[in-house]
Structure 1
Amino acid sequence: MSRPEPRVLQLCHGYDGPFLDCARQYAALFAGTEYKVTTVYLTGAPSAEVEAGSASDEVIFLDYSSREVRGLKLKAIRDIRRILAGRDFKFCIAHRFKPIYISLLACKLPVIGVHHAFGVYGRLSRRLFINCFRQRLLLLAVSNAVRDEMRGHLPGWAPERIETLYNRIDVEAVQAEQVSRETAREALELPQDAWVVGNVGRLHPDKDQATLIRGFARALPQLPAGSLLVIMGSGRLEAELKALAVELGVVASVRFLGQVPQGRRYFKAFDAFVLSSDHEPFGMVLLEAMAAGVPLVCSDCGGGREVVEGVGRLFPWGDAEALACELQSLAKAESQVQPALLRLRETFTDEAVRSRFWGFCRGL
């Protein structure tokens, strides 16, 4: 009788937004190994595109409603036990708290819990729960900033049980998707000769596009003639941010593009990319901008600082005057993108983190 294939269960809440690529990132770490990866999405309808993008040997869509992943999640626990039955699963990778909770109760396997946000263990109930399983649990954070917050909330844990594994991209695949500067500007209906500052993200207080607009407005008189601020994204602050652009007298120089499908394809349209968030756990858009060869400006808090520091420009969060100074300086400077591209390949790719990941697995 042949030996069963060793398998890894990857459990994801869903595949919306960046989480499809998060599943791909972890499945890709097993390429060329003996392990087969089964990726399970708790929410989200079956999709051939998602299946292909998951880079997994098997993809299962449970298609739960939001109600079914609240409370005790008994149905999900039963279904995961059914998936595990009869196959040689060695460990589980679970993204975000609910999948971690389900995997810990559904099996006795070692679990790697991946956290993509701040504040997960601010709740006492979650701390009490997670402490019951720390002997077979390794927690990974997408940045040192998230890791350090988790360590603060879980002081009884050994530091090596709460570690950082940066997000990453397939550089060649992302660059192959990105269209030329001229094509990108045509698609976004931007003038070819303008100096363009780009921002991509939800129109939400966490992203702090208000400081971005204020900083751009202050910098504008010293920027090249016809300079534009272009914001991709939608959200509840859209009317408020548009009103701010009117109030500051820069409405003609600020373009709100709304939700742009596959927006990273058009990053070469930008002469600078600004991330102004107050609590960015990581900032995948920074990697996509680096892949496009776009100079970076980022607020100095959260995980974004770890991506940009040494290869881009940082400004104190919420400081519109400091942001204006960085934009003015960048507009006059000769573009230096090679250090950022080198850092991207050395730190934020699957190849760069693979040995670190397997070191964590041996410890688990």
Structure 2
Amino acid sequence: MPTHSQPEQWVLQFCHGYDGPFLDCARQYAALFAGTPYKVCTVYLTGAPSRGVEQGSASDEVIFLDFSSRQVRGLKLAAIRELRRIAASREFKLCIAHRFKPIYVALLATALPVIGVHHAFGVYGRLSRRLFVNRFRGRLLLLGVSNAVRDQMRAHLGNWPDERIETLYNRIDVDAARAELVSREAAREHLGLPLDAWVVGNVGRLHPDKDQATLIRGFAQALPRLPRGSLLAIMGSGRLEAALKALAAELGVADSVRFLGQVANGRRYFRAFDVFALSSDHEPFGMVLLEAMAAGVPAIGTDCGGGREVIEGVGGLFPLGAPADLAEALVRQAQVQDLQALRQEMLARLQQCFSDQAVRKRFWTLPLLAELN
């Protein structure tokens, strides 16, 4: 890591937008430069100017290009011109670009070394994208948010050396996340859940990727062996809501499944849950698992994608789309006696693998970062 004796330099962070989890992604990467001589300028390709986003970006400067989705289709020439102008405005040493469009624009608009961060599967399944990044391999380092994402990129880009496609985990400000939490009682009151119920929590869009159908089936199978009055509480909205409610009714558990809808600042209320279950189909990472662990809530997840990497050793795993195995995992969790010991193990794993401090240490060992020392 650079020392304070070096002259001040700038890092350019380029994001597609700040919707959903991507504002926190910007914060995570800006935080990697805290305590160094480098200042961070974060540029959002889409999204209107927002004082709250400025504050949440943890950056020295924030620029909103405010392009519409339509304007960033095709060749993106206007975006390339704007980023070229910004890159020429000061002494930038490095660009960090999140998702493919910003990587594309950054490589064409600047001559900077680029760290391209990928948060999803399937990015380089397209031949056109593989051909494009191969042109810039000499100044491009690709990061996946999990080993699962990294390994898929390595398979798609088989001619790249492994050290040019690495993993840098998403992370959480553990202390800040814990400080946001409300008490179990206040969380239950806010979500309309009874204080004496044993509650299985789930948070996510009601979408096939999240596979809440398997979650409902597994919960229904486990329910006779769970504590009396147990509930499944699903926080989120989406196009499958009616179908999922119909499934709960068909399985005879409609009275035990609560659809909470979209909850603002939902992670504040995670202490309402006794266990958190994520049934997603190949989750690239599973940030919500970190939030559950920070709240001290034991986690169960599918044994695939990045979620496995998050909770392996401190949480329950079950095969994708296997409700009977999920049911067994729920029953086992309901029988755990020493919850405090498990909470300590989860907190230790967060600090060791998924905290800002742990990931910062890993970040400064990456190949392109050696050039900044």
TM-score range, shorter chain: over 0.9
Q: Pick the aligned partner of 1:174 from 177, 183, 207.
A: 177
Output aligned runs, 1:1-364, within 5 Å: 5-334=8-337, 335=339, 336-360=342-366, 361-363=368-370
CA distance in 2, matches of 1:271, 1:164: 31
* Letter aligned with residue 347 of structure 1: C
Residue deviations 1:262-298 (CA, integer Å, cap 9, x gap): 0000000000000101110000000000000001101
Structure 1: runs of 5 or more not aligned: none
- In percent, how many aligned pairs have the same letter? 75
| Residues 84-137 of structure 1, C-alpha deviations (whole Å, 9 max, x = no match) | 113100010000000000000000000000000000000000000010000000
In the alignment, is the contact (CA less than 8 A) between 1:4 and 1:87 conserved in 2? no
Query: Partners of 1:131 and 1:332 in 2: how far apart?
Result: 52
Tell me if the contact between 1:4 and 1:88 (Cα under 8 Å) persists in the aligned partners: no
Measured after TM superposition, the shift of residue 333 of structure 1 is 1.3
Cα distance in 2 for partners of 1:26, 1:252 equals 43
In 2: Cα distance, 1:54 partner to 1:132 partner:
31
CA distance in 1 between counterparts of 2:239 and 2:133 reads 34
For 2:156 and 2:61, how far apart are their aligned partners in 1? 35
Separation in 2, partners of 1:4, 1:63: 32
Q: Cα deviation per residue 1:187-235 (whole Å; 9 max; x = unaligned)?
A: 0010000000000001111110000000000000111111000000111
Q: Give, in whole Å, the separation in 2 of the partners of 1:228 and 1:185.
A: 12
1:69 positional shift = 0.9
CA RMSD of aligned residues (A): 1.0
One-letter amino acid matched to 1:341:
L
Q: Which deviates the most, 290-299 or 330-339?
A: 330-339
Whole-angstrom CA distance in 2 between matches of 1:14 and 1:86: 22
Task: Tell me the alpha carbon deviations over residues 312-354 of structure 1, each in whole angstroms, 9 at most, x when there is no partner.
Answer: 1001111100100111111111222111110001100110011
CA contact (8 A) 1:9 1:91 kept: yes
Deviations 1:36-94 (A, max 9, x none): 10000011111111100000000001111001111000000000011111310001000
Shift in Å, 1:358: 1.2
Secondary structure at the aligned position of 2:314 is classed as: coil
Question: Which string of whole-angstrom CA distances, capped at 9 and with x for unpartnered residues, describes residues 242-262 of structure 1?
Answer: 110010010000000111000
Find the aligned partners of 1:291 and 1:178 in 2 and give their Cα distance.
Answer: 9
Instruction: State the alpha-carbon separation in 1 of the partners of residues 72 and 7 from structure 2.
Output: 31
Q: Contact 2:7–2:37 at 8 Å: present in 1 too?
A: no
User: Aligned pair count?
Assistant: 362
Aligned partner of residue 359 in structure 1, secondary structure? coil
Separation in structure 2 between the aligned mates of residue 303 and residue 254 of structure 1, nearest angstrom: 27
